[in-house]
Structure 1
Amino acid sequence: MTTTQEPLVPGEKLTTVSGADAGRIARAAFVGTALEWYDYYLFGTAAALVFNRLFFTELDPTAALLAAFATFGVGFAARPLGAIIFGWMGDRFGRRPALLTTIVMIGIATGLIGLLPDFGAIGLAAPIALALLRLVQGLAVGGEWGGAVTMAVEHAPAEKRGRFAALVQVGSPVGTLLSSGAFALVLMLPPETFDSWGWRIPFLLAFPMLLIALWIRIKVEESPIFKDLLAHEETVKVPALEVFRHSFGRLVVAIMSALLGVGGFYMITTFVTSYGTNTLGVDRQVMVSATLIAAVAQIVVTIFAGRLAEKIGPGRVTMWGGLLTAVAAFPLFWLIDTKEPVAIIAAVTIGIMLIAIAYAVSGALLTELFPAKQRYSGVALGYNIAGATSGFMPLLATAMLATSGNQSWGAAIILAAIALITAAGGIIGERLRVHDKPIVVD
């Protein structure tokens, strides 16, 4: 199959937006997404460094770490449900109201984690409340990313979709920088102070950050393509059902192509942070610093890959990102196993850069796999089913350490496998892309 484009109805006018508006919408989507990922990644870092000790204290160290990662994975399990709920809202009533709702939900849930008493204060209620707040985070993120890239892409002309979609993806490393930076600062506190209240500060910062992001996002106009759907009465009542009935093959391809960007990222950040700190005995500050440096490099790669996608297609970029990551999987973990800070930082940085090649163009590829009337739902479902599948990868990799004598080969196999799946998804996805009716940028 080849790419197709929806034809114009006789007498129909082209959708028109200004270049300034297209850029402003993409930047607003980026700001909101950066906050979403700050909140979400914060939990991953805390799961590796805090929650296993303060919320699951009656378990032995390995069981506590597994429980913390299981709670981390709950957020991923909730994401497909969030995709269905907010996909329905976004495809039925508008991209804008869905995105406003998701950002409020995750900001409040994250801030409340910072106020949550630990196991020593309220016992079993602490991990239960933590899991429930993680569930709210997962529901919100399930609708956020799909809506953000859909909004950015639907305001952009086809030939510039790669750069606008990549701008949204920059929200991921910026969120990582903010969350890892916040943790790096509070880790400088004395251990007893960090455990008492220091770890809460990064979570409480979600409240003022939410107000800023909400103020920016309120100013965002509705997608012109969605307005056209309303004008022609082309919206569907149950868009998720429409995706499963008429675009199931495209959904599978979307899941495949998104798998590395989500699962690979958490293998190189969340799992490696835990593995380096708890198994190899590396100072946790080294692990957090590695994530910070990698995030800066990811921004550069993301911008480059977005422009490259406009030249050769997002599917081909995805394919190369997957293949390169698969080849590098074992060497990356060999570097980490040296326990040398420089080698670890290099491995994490290179790993994130390779994964970012595919992740940078996920928005551009997934939005062009689905027609406009089911796009929010299709993109959100594809991305978040991939997230639900790969969110438990750190848990699986940690469990495999117990059977491999704390050797890293199991984690390397997992990373290589999901990278190859994503490469295949990119090859197929490039042939299935569908373009909207033309958009003219003034």
Structure 2
Amino acid sequence: MNVTGTADAIPEAAARVDRRTMIASTVGTVLEWYDFNLYGLASALVFGPLFFSSSSLGGTLASFATFAVGFAARPVGGLLFGHLGDRLGRRRILLVTMLVMGLSSALLGILPTYAQAGIWAPILLVALRVCQGIGVGGEFGGATLLTVENAPAGRRGLLGAVPAMGTGAGFVLASAVFGTVSLLPDSAMMSWGWRVPFLASIVLVGFGWLVRRGIQETPVFRELAARGETARFPLLLTLRQQPGAVLRTMGVTVSGFVWGYLIQAFSLAYGTSQLHLSRSTMLWAVAVASALEIVTIPMWGALSDRIGRRRLVTAGLAFTVLYAFPFFWLLSTRNTLLVFVAMIVAIPIAKDAVFGPQAALVAEMFDARGRYSGVSAGREIGGAIFGGTAPFIGTALLALTGSIWPVALYVVLGCLVTFVAVVAGRETAGGTLR
């Protein structure tokens, strides 16, 4: 029996996305990415001297190395929770990922520093970062499938992008909170101020848990479960029947991971340590740009429903290639207004034209029985290879060459990889989920 079209057997009236489901999916993603992005900000600004006893380049590299460890753990979470999500349902697994992420972040807020615990401080930091990575590795795929699998064909780009905008909202929240505590005197910031945003995760994850408890399972999974057609080993099924889709998903995510984390982590360290811009200026510039994502990510997703995923993504890639070098030049002016302009063009325009359609684009590649596994495996393996390493590679390129231009060239190479992955597949907008 052909079950790849299960989603299309569901009546159109049943495919409307429930408002509570939309809110729960989006709020959960906001909270997850608030936690995950806090670590990126802290690794750029405070973890070097606190956990590696160095504020020099070596401390920054060591801090970014632990940032990369979280990405290395994300495929583990993607494979584990993707498998369980295809076996047990999307809803149950998203409750678990929220708890893993929230508790890990709260524990970061009570960690002893290197001065207090010696070598145990970075060891515990890495352990909790691994737990964070496992939690977030299962989050994005499940959250977007909650809406994509409910959406009618002509609105999958828009509705899939709604929870995706939670990544921007989560960064806004993280940047705003971290930007606020950064206004403290340096002594207070380094002794206790940096802990406050992490401890706040307990309150946030409790709220998210209450919202997510009441959501319904997607009609796609309910249909599969009712027929007894869920796969016993969904990832193996996907790798056997659709290996190209997994590889394409990895490629589709490359430019967003490289560009996004160079902006959100590397550029913070570069701006504060090399250009001597204030922490608050850099944090608020990223926060304002990320706030605009709440509008632009759904906008780009909706546009992909009208003109096609491939056309929009390739246009976004071309713009990013043209903008990569001017972005770093604008930062180097040290002019506050131009720094804000640099971020506003880089994040909601260049990055999101590629990222906005991504949820629908990758979901439409896979069979319903292995969709959670396929999306999570491809995306999180790509994130481990290209996302977590981006700040470290950017810092290393800057140190080796003494110039920022190799970093911009690295962005261009990432765009080329994504371009190949996108044009290698067919257009999926407006089609069925077969």
Q: Which amino acid in structure 1 is aligned with residue 247 of structure 2?
A: V
Farther-moved stretch of structure 1 (85-94 vs 60-69): 60-69
The match for 1:30 is 26
Matched, 1:271 2:266: yes
Take 1:169 and 1:352, find their aligned partners in 2: how far apart are those partners? 14
Per-residue Cα deviation, 1:243-262 (whole angstroms, up to 9, x for no partner): 22221111111111112222
Q: How many residues align?
A: 429
Q: Does the residue aligned with 1:272 lie in a helix, a strand or coil? A: helix
2:57 is matched with which residue? 62
Check whether the contact 1:106–1:137 (CA below 8 A) recurs between aligned residues.
Answer: yes
Q: Secondary structure in 2 aligned to 1:85?
A: helix
Greater CA drift, 175-184 or 380-389? 380-389
**Correspondence for 1:128 among 111, 119, 123:** 123
Q: How far off is 1:431 after superposition? A: 3.4
* 1:389 maps to amino acid: I
User: For the residues of structure 2 that align with 1:160 and 1:241, how far apart are their CA atoms?
Assistant: 30
- Are residues 327 and 5 of structure 1, via their aligned partners in 2, closer, same or farther at CA, if it must alter by over 3 Å? farther
Query: Secondary structure of 2:46's partner?
Result: helix
Alignment check: 8 A CA contact 2:26 2:166 kept: yes
Instruction: Give, in angstroms, the shift of residue 13 of structure 1.
Output: 6.3
- 1:176 to partner: Cα distance: 0.7
- AA aligned opposite 1:46: A
User: How many Å separate the matches in 2 of 1:158 and 1:22?
Assistant: 16
1:319-374 deviation digits (Å, cap 9, x = unpaired): 21112111111111111122222222211221112101111111110110101101
Q: CA shift at 1:60, angstroms?
A: 6.4
Q: What per-residue deviation string (whole Å, max 9, x for no partner) do you get for residues 275-315 of structure 1? A: 11111211111111110111122222212101101112223
Report whether the alignment pairs 1:90 with 2:88: no
Flag the 1:314–1:104 CA change in 2: closer, same or farther, 3 A: same
How many angstroms does 1:381 deviate by? 1.1
Q: CA deviation at 1:16?
A: 4.8
**2:69 — aligned with what?**
74
**1:29-428 alignment, distance < 5 Å:** 29-57=25-53, 59=54, 61-353=56-348, 354-390=350-386, 391-405=388-402, 407-428=403-424
Q: Partners of 1:144 and 1:280 in 2: how far apart?
A: 35
Quote the offset at 1:182 in angstroms: 0.3
CA shift for structure 1 position 5: 10
Amino acid at match of 1:402: A
Deviation for aligned residue 1:427: 2.5
| Distance in structure 1 (CA, Å) of the matches to 2:175 and 2:292 | 14
- 2: CA distance, partners of 1:29 / 1:172: 11
8 A contact 2:4–2:369 mirrored in 1: no
The answer for unaligned runs of 5 or more in structure 2 is none
1:14, distance to aligned residue in structure 2 (A): 3.5
- The 1:298/1:429 distance shift into structure 2, 3 A limit, reads farther
TM-score for the superposition, normalised by structure 2: 0.95
Query: In structure 2, what is the Cα distance between the partners aligned to 1:7 and 1:43?
Result: 40
Structure 1 position 27, deviation (Å) = 2.0
Q: How has the CA–CA distance of structure 1 residues 13 and 69 changed in structure 2, closer, same or farther, with 3 Å as cutoff?
A: closer
Superposed displacement of residue 7, structure 1: 5.2
Paired with 1:422 and 1:350, the residues of 2 have a C-alpha distance of 20
3-state SS, counterpart of residue 230 of structure 1: helix
Cα deviations across residues 159-190 of structure 1 (Å, max 9, x unaligned)?
Answer: 11111111111101110110000011101111
Which moves more between the two structures, 42-51 or 290-299?
Answer: 290-299
| In structure 1, distance between residues paired with 2:363 and 2:26 | 16
Distance 1:15 1:87 in 2: 26
User: Do the aligned partners of 1:91 and 1:235 also contact (CA within 8 Å) in 2?
Assistant: yes
Contact kept in structure 1, 2:169 and 2:293, CA below 8 Å:
no
Instruction: Please state how far the C-alpha of 1:400 moved relative to its aligned partner.
Output: 0.9
Q: Distance in 2 between matches of 1:180 and 1:430?
A: 38
What amino acid maps onto 2:52 in structure 1?
F
In structure 2, what is the Cα distance between the partners aligned to 1:181 and 1:428? Answer: 40
TM-fit CA distance, 1:110: 0.4
Matched residue SS, 1:17: helix
User: Does 1:17 find its partner at 2:14?
Assistant: yes
Q: What's the CA shift string for 1:210-249, capped at 9, x where partnerless? A: 0000100011111110011112222112212222222111
Distance 2:68 2:364 in 1: 29
- Give the whole-Å Cα distance in 2 for the aligned partners of 1:127 and 1:6: 46
- What is the DSSP-based 3-state SS (H/G/I as helix, E as strand, rest coil) of the residue aligned with 2:365? coil
Query: Comparing 148-157 with 426-435, which one deviates more in the overlay?
Result: 426-435
Q: Is contact 1:256–1:425 with CA below 8 Å preserved after alignment?
A: yes
SS at match of 2:427: helix
Segment drifting more, 332-341 vs 218-227: 332-341
- Per the TM alignment, residue 70 of structure 1 is displaced from its structure 2 partner at its CA by 0.4
Moved more, 169-178 or 152-161: 152-161
Q: What SS does the aligned partner of 2:276 have?
A: coil
Aligned to 1:440: none
- Asked whether the 8 Å contact 1:236–1:373 carries over to 2, the reply is yes
Structure 1, unmatched stretches of 5+, are: 438-442
